[in-house]
Amino acid sequence: MKLVVMTKSTYFVEEDKIIGMLFEEGLDSLHISKRDTSPLYLERLLSLLPSEFHHRIIVHQHFYAKNEFALGGIHLDSAGAAVPTGYKGTVGRTCEDVMQLRAMKKQSDYVFLKNIHQPREATADRERVLSDAELDEAGRQGLLGRHVYAMGGITLADIPVLRERGFGGVVIRNDLWERFCIHSEQNFSPVVEYFRKLRALCQ
């Protein structure tokens, strides 16, 4: 089962150190998705990460960085977003409706199916959570599989259930980064230890 780690939505000082440690621990896929629209922060983060890991990184914004830093690909956060003109390489998409999955899978190398749970980050609008019935029906129709990853409030406890449902991977964000307080801590070991548990469950 594929384990994808998505960055916090904000940049922070120790981020490159923690990500570097996760790569050393075997992280296979890091998605960088930020609210900050400045490309300078992204470029700084990428420049601080060893180039040997760049091919394992996917960006959700500033797609020019894919070629500039020899990254693994780009990710489109909405069903209607278009692939940049002339782009060649790996493309992922985020889908929030199981009825769109079939079409999204044809247009992408992999798909994140979001809203498995309510996201724990504060947002202006509460998003609709996919029901068990919807997920069951998606499984019956063969819409899940190895290239569809569950996203949205995923925790360690969810992984066995999602594997049983037929998902090919999981996207972990807050459940990992909550192990580190960017304002008061310098100890990265809780994040690394938790990543090890996640990775062991996904193998």
How many domains does the structure of the chain reveal? 1
Report pLDDT digits (tens) over 56-103: 999 999 999 999 999 999 999 987 889 999 899 999 999 988 888 989
**Per-residue pLDDT at 129:** 85
**Cα distances (angstroms) measured from residue 15 to each of 8, 63, 173, 174:** 9, 20, 13, 14
- DSSP readout, 97-128? -GGGHHHHHHHSSEEEE--SS--SS--SSPPP
What CATH number does residue 135 fall under?
3.20.20.70
Report pLDDT digits (tens) over 38-60: 899 999 999 999 999 999 999 99
Q: 171: part of which helix (H) or strand (E)?
A: strand 167-172
**Per-residue pLDDT at 97:** 87
Q: Residue 6: what residue type?
A: M
For the question of whether the overall pTM of this predicted structure is more than 0.95, the answer is no
Supply the range of the domain harboring residue 176.
Answer: 2-202
